[in-house]
Chains A and B, each alone.
Chain A
Amino acid sequence: MNEKESYSDVLVIGAGIAGIEASLLLSNSGRKVHLVEKTSYTGGTVIKFEEVFSNMECSTCMVAPIQQELLQDKNINLVMLAEIEDVKGSFGNFTVKIRKKARYVDLQNCIGCNACFEPCPVSLKNEFEEGLGERKAIYVPCAGALPNVPMIDTEHCLRFNGKECKACQEACMFEAIDFNQKDEQLELKVGAIIAATGFNIFDTKKTPNYGYGKIDDVYNAFEFERLYSSNGPTEGNILLKNGKPPKSAAIIHCVGRDQEGYCSSVCCMYSLKFNHYLKSKIPEIVISEFYTDLCIPGKSHQKFYEKMKETGTDIIRFKEIEIEKQGKGMSVKYNNGKKKNSLPVDMVILAPAIEPREDAPKLAKALGISLDEYGFFKEEHPDVSSVTTSKPGVFIAGCVQGPKNIQNSVSQANAAVGKILSLFN
């Protein structure tokens, strides 16, 4: 380390499962952590899921305790609605500029009673619910979000658009709503940085052969997760657009694999999980899984597949596939290498590839690290060192480095912490 002053605090970017695990472990060691999160809640993508493979553990039950721990941890400064603007300096001595948007709801005063939602006159599609549910201009993304404190969407709130509405403020018994909050510029001094900003899923509109966006009842994986979630827009009822439960469904793997140029490693497993979701809610449903290569690596996954096979699901390897509208419904036209087939189904679920977030280039630039050819954050060495980057002091964990499951994301988060504690005492 150079002669400049060095700081022991650590900046963690992204409060998903990797960021939370890294922050808690650092805090446990006595380090002070600044955890910067872009949204108004913690938990990242994992809280969109009702259950996680292969034990089908309830996802919220798995994550909520560590979210609570995070919120109560005095070593962790959780900065929400915030983004990294600029990073200067080197290992041991980084200066980070952060832009933090005002929430307009006081985190201390708000008790999460949600009384402010009902009187809000603005209704919008809820992004967290993939547009399948609605929210108000003051909202939490879903029931059970942590912290259970709403935010005001100033783009749509009447008050921030020249009207005199203060319905939410009047409904609040705790003086928690403060229209005078201002956006802030923060400057932090930290010794090391862990970037754990997660992933996006491939835009299934780019593969028109699947009918997504054109044919009713074709869903992508995130939409289907929310349809199954007990805190989702249908309270966990899997229903078609016409309000009836589907009698048959097709789950299509590898959507966007060719376009992205890699196997996203988790899609086969979560597609098998979807099979379980459907069977558990609609036992008589007929399911077909369309796949190219079954990729279920590791000691615990095949037994999950074997169990799924027992349910009578048709497992079909396809070479070409297309979803076509047929009368009021649709059918899957596919070629299995031997002949062309057609299968009418009520519902189609697409398993899209994992891809980098759209803001990955901006963050990589601010951090002074490079992206790989796919747009993920580039690790120092693909064979051996997946959590270090070309820049000392900047570490990466989770899907920001490449597609992976929760277990490997958590391991990377812990490993990044290990590097920091080992290199930088």
Chain B
Amino acid sequence: MERKIGVYVCECGPNIAEKVDIDKVVGAVSSLDGVVVVEKYKLLCSADGKKFLEEEIKKHGITHLVIAACSPKQHEKTFMEVCENAGINPYLYQLANIREQCAWITEDKDEATKKAIRLIKAAIGRVKYHSSLEKKEIECNPAVLIIGGGVAGINASLELASPDRKIYLVEKTSSLGGMITNFEKTYPSMQPSSHILKQKILDMDKNENIQVFIDSNVEEIIGFFGNFEIKVKKKEVDEPAEFEVGAVMLATGSNFFDLKKTPQYGYEKFDNIFTALEFEKMNLSGEISLKNGKTPRSVAIIHCVGRDEKGYCSEICCMYSLKFIRYLKDKIPDAQVSNFYSDLCIPGKSYQKFYEQTKGKNVDFIRSTNVEVTKKENKLSIKYIDENGNKNSLLVDMVILAPAIEPTSDVSELAEIAGISQGDGGFFAEEHEKLNPVSTSTDGVYIVGCAQGPKNISDTIVQSGAAAGKILASLIPGKKMEIEVKTSHISESFCIGCKVCISVCSYGAITFDEAKKISVVNEVICRGCGNCVAACPSGAATSKHFTFKQIHQELLEAVK
């Protein structure tokens, strides 16, 4: 097909025209090979300008379009729409930025004019080698797999389930509810935690759009956003259940730090030293007592256990330690409770008040370091260095340790199955710390709650709602999903099967065809980042719309 290139230079009022000799530019590119028309225009992005362009494209039978104007950030899409309206493929167009990268930054008019000519020549050189690219859409399955039947998984299930969206919830233990089922009350309201869960678990049972697998683990997740194939294995059942979903949510919670790693606290060496979880369970059972059945008169709560080892603050330990004081005071009003802490971390609007109301008679807060627990006669002795640097000690009946939150023991296995990575602290890594905390580098796989990092119940529920929001907004029943157009492609004949591309692909978009011994790009997953193109030693990987030929011609004209 004969190429007919049209070049349109925008004056942008005085913005470009004052600094660039537009007539000279028009003259300089008019006679180039393939160029059939070069025109200047006062303001191409205006309504009149767009109409003008559309008519010009039709009138001259333009097949390839070059616009010399502002930054693509500003108006790339504007002119792509013009192309579509005029009946040419929007990828057969190139925008040369002669405003931000030329007129606005080059003082000398001659220099600016020369630069503008080069930029336009480069765009013409490139656009000749552009190919038509078509928008692609895929069918998708609106169903969702949620791994983990704690408060996050339950909340997300109920928010997502509908007659046209089935939810599969996979829980590895034998019941729903997760960590919260161990708590008598939640802070700061100090209402029974059953208030949060009981009704929701009943709602789960009644909801026929939710299928719950207990005692089960996810064995396999293959596919991509919109179309994942899942295998779930139930304990003591041979055949795994298989089904398809469009999205996956990991709400697998967290573990507590292993206290064997901090022997100085005497855990499992002396009686009456409990972990936070053990204390929650004891309190839930209705009676706080010592090993010998007696009621403790004095209790020490040690904060920040394992913080140094983990290298982060677990966010919730100060607050739940304060809650423990409330538990103790409810059941043993005259108990002496001493808190050993380093920094009190009670962020947010309602926690300080909770702290103020927890302070009071027989409640001490001791800022301390080097805390150690030993046995002295039939009591436990807390040795510590106080904030003035003095050595001190205190005898108590009971010790409660507040250990750090850490990833679950199967976090690496799950990350591999789901095709996502682990980040800070070993928790699942989010796509972007600020803007995308519940998404991952794998489209359609979401992480929520303590699986993403330590957090309280409220923030856990917010995250599960956030992931539900993302799924509801993008995986719509009956609606096809648009996928990236500018993807990578690996040439069958050039590929030498070295697999370098697979190792650099952040999205898991490349697989290896064992029969042909070559790498293959899954265009549904590929986001066109170009990592594989840069890494490929044999030139087999190319990026659509950024081919070697296109870039080479563009550079050639720019530096000629």
Contact = CB atoms under 8 A, between A and B. Distances in A.
Interface of A: 17, 21, 25-26, 28-30, 52, 54-55, 57, 62, 66, 68, 72, 108-109, 111, 113, 115, 173-174, 257, 261-265, 293-303, 306, 317, 337-338, 372-374, 376, 381-387, 402-404, 406-408, 410-419, 421-422, 425
13 contacts: A57-B434, A111-B15, A174-B43, A261-B353, A262-B350, A263-B345, A294-B345, A298-B454, A383-B189, A383-B196, A385-B461, A415-B461, A421-B469
Interface stretch (B212-220, B309-317, B487-495): B309-317
B312 A66 contact: no
Given A113-B14, A410-B435, A411-B459, A372 B349 contact: yes
Nearest to B473: A29
A263 B461 contact: no
Given A111-B43, A299-B427, A402 B313 contact: no
B466 A414 contact: yes
B411 interface: no
B453 A299 contact: yes
Contacts of B187: 383
Nearest to A414: B466
B177 to A, nearest CB: 14
Contacts of B37: none
A66 B503 CA distance: 30
Contacts of B14: 113, 115, 173
Contacts of A295: 313, 343-347
A350 B453 CA distance: 30
B313 A384 contact: no
Contact of A384 (B73, B458, B474, B476): B458
B474 to A, nearest CB: 6
Contacts of A30: 476, 479
Given A113-B13, A302-B313, A418-B159, A383 B188 contact: yes
A295 B353 CA distance: 16
B229 interface: no
B473 A28 contact: yes
A298 B453 contact: yes
Contacts of A66: 435
Given A411-B466, A417-B473, A422-B468, A62 B435 contact: yes
A106 to B, nearest CB: 11
B351 interface: yes
Nearest to B464: A415
Interface of B: 12-15, 43, 45-47, 73, 77, 159-160, 162, 186-189, 191, 196, 311-315, 343-353, 387-388, 423-425, 427, 433-438, 453-455, 457-459, 461-470, 472-474, 476, 479
Given A262-B351, A383-B196, A422-B472, A21 B435 contact: yes
A25 B434 contact: no
A113 B15 contact: yes
B160 A303 contact: no
Contacts of A408: 459, 462
B457 A383 contact: yes
Nearest 6 A/B pairs, CB to CB? A418-B469, A415-B465, A265-B347, A414-B466, A297-B315, A29-B473
A107 to B, nearest CB: 13
Given A382-B458, A418-B159, A418-B469, 12 more contacts: A28-B474, A29-B473, A263-B347, A295-B345, A298-B455, A300-B433, A303-B311, A382-B350, A407-B434, A417-B472, A418-B472, A422-B472
Contacts of A257: 352
A52 B433 CA distance: 10
Contacts of A376: 349
Contacts of B196: 383-384
Listed residue (A293, A297, A402) with the most chain B CB atoms within 10 angstroms of its CB = A297
Contacts of B186: 383-384
Contacts of A29: 472-474, 476
A299 B45 CA distance: 47
Nearest to B319: A297
B465 A403 contact: no
Contacts of A115: 14
A72 B77 contact: yes
B434 A293 contact: no
Name which of A52, A372, A386, A413 has the most chain B CB atoms within 10 A of its CB. A386
Contact of B438 (A113, A298, A403, A411): A411
B433 A297 contact: no
Contacts, number: 208
B345 A415 contact: no
Nearest to A405: B434
B347 A421 contact: no
A68 B71 CA distance: 12
Contacts of B73: 68
B465 A387 contact: yes
B159 A422 contact: yes
A419 B465 CA distance: 7
Nearest to A399: B349
B415 to A, nearest CB: 15
A421 B435 CA distance: 20
Nearest to A336: B387
A204 B468 CA distance: 40
B353 A262 contact: yes
A402 B348 contact: yes
A215 to B, nearest CB: 29
Contacts of A402: 348-350
Contacts of A404: 348
Contacts of B350: 262, 372, 382, 402
B158 to A, nearest CB: 8
A173 B349 contact: no
A29 B479 CA distance: 10
B313 A297 contact: yes
A413 B434 CA distance: 12
Nearest to A69: B77
B6 to A, nearest CB: 23
Contacts of A406: 434-435
Nearest to A64: B73
A412 B348 CA distance: 14
Q: Please indicate which of the listed interface residues A261, A338, A386, A408 has the most CB atoms of chain B within 10 Å of its own CB.
A: A408
A297 B463 contact: no
Contacts of B45: 111
Nearest to B432: A62
Which of B73, B347, B350, B423 counts the most chain A CB atoms within 10 A?
A: B347
B160 A302 contact: no
B98 to A, nearest CB: 14
Contacts of B465: 387, 414-416, 418-419
Nearest to B434: A406
A221 B349 CA distance: 20
A403 B348 contact: yes
A414 B469 contact: yes
Given A412-B462, A422-B472, A337 B313 contact: no
Given A25-B470, A406-B434, A303 B424 contact: yes
Contact of B348 (A21, A174, A262, A301): A262
B77 to A, nearest CB: 6
